Amino acid sequence: MQAQIQTTADGAIVFDTGVAAQGRFDPDWFDPAHWRAQGRSANVDGGRGGVIIIDAPFGHCVLRHYRRGGMVARLLGDRYLWTGAERTRSFAEFRLLADLHGRGLHVPAPVAARYRRDGVHYHADLITRRIEDATTLAGLLAQDRCSAEIAARVGAAIAEFHAAGAYHADLNAHNILLAADTVWLVDFDRGELRTPNRVWQLANLVRLRRSLCKLGAGGGDDAAFEHGWWTPLMAAYERRFGDLT
């Protein structure tokens, strides 16, 4: 993928040159109203909000508007402090996804990212390729469709990211997707490449464990969770991590 930066009246766009004719990315493509007016969008559960699926000229994609969570959201909403273009949430995630995708890791391919300046703040958006026919791990848990085999596949997939130094800032069951036999990680906002280290890697896994327990993996029974979920997940993680390091 080759990325190109396009300046706009209030900011800039970085995009994959393979998706935009004549070397220009239409800023309207970041506007949900543009797609709704054409009947080419669908809302999805996006956590803090701002996520839709779009049927774009370059294929099915996910459009996400960055929005803060927690108490600070009441004060700043979708505004972030400006500290430079490459340090915006959208540009940083676009660059990271491009890097991880180029390494063959299963992340959604980035299409375009935008920031718009607003004084000392900025607003941000990101478009990525949609992972077709995928279900979140959280969704599978809710449907009681999980198994030790799926847990092992998830553990092995996380090991591949960790061996590559890919840190996911919010590793939870909602950000793990399964499509056929492939496990994908999505939403790398605030993610980064780090020197592989067991401290942050285990902290990542502890965060995932909390998410699984909160969603009732193992039917809420601690022994069932350990035997049917966490043990096979960690065993597969350690095997795959050992193969790669």
Query: What is the chain's pLDDT, residue by residue, as a tens digit (245 residues)?
Result: 899 999 999 999 999 999 987 789 999 999 999 999 999 988 775 445 579 999 999 999 999 999 987 776 667 789 999 999 999 999 999 999 999 999 999 999 999 999 999 999 999 999 999 999 999 999 999 998 889 999 999 999 999 999 999 999 999 999 999 999 899 999 999 999 999 999 999 999 999 999 999 999 988 788 999 999 999 999 999 999 999 99
Helices (H), 66-214: 72-76, 89-102, 137-142, 148-163, 198-214
Catalytic residues: 170
The answer to whether 141 touches 159, Cβ cutoff 8 Å, is no
Q: Residue 20's pLDDT is what?
A: 84
Q: Residue 43's pLDDT is what?
A: 78
In 3D space, the residue among 175, 171, 174 whose CA is nearest the CA of residue 208 turns out to be 171
Distance (Å, rounded) from C-alpha 173 to C-alpha 152? 14
Q: Residue 128's pLDDT is what?
A: 98
Q: Residue 192's pLDDT is what?
A: 97
Q: Residue 49's pLDDT is what?
A: 53
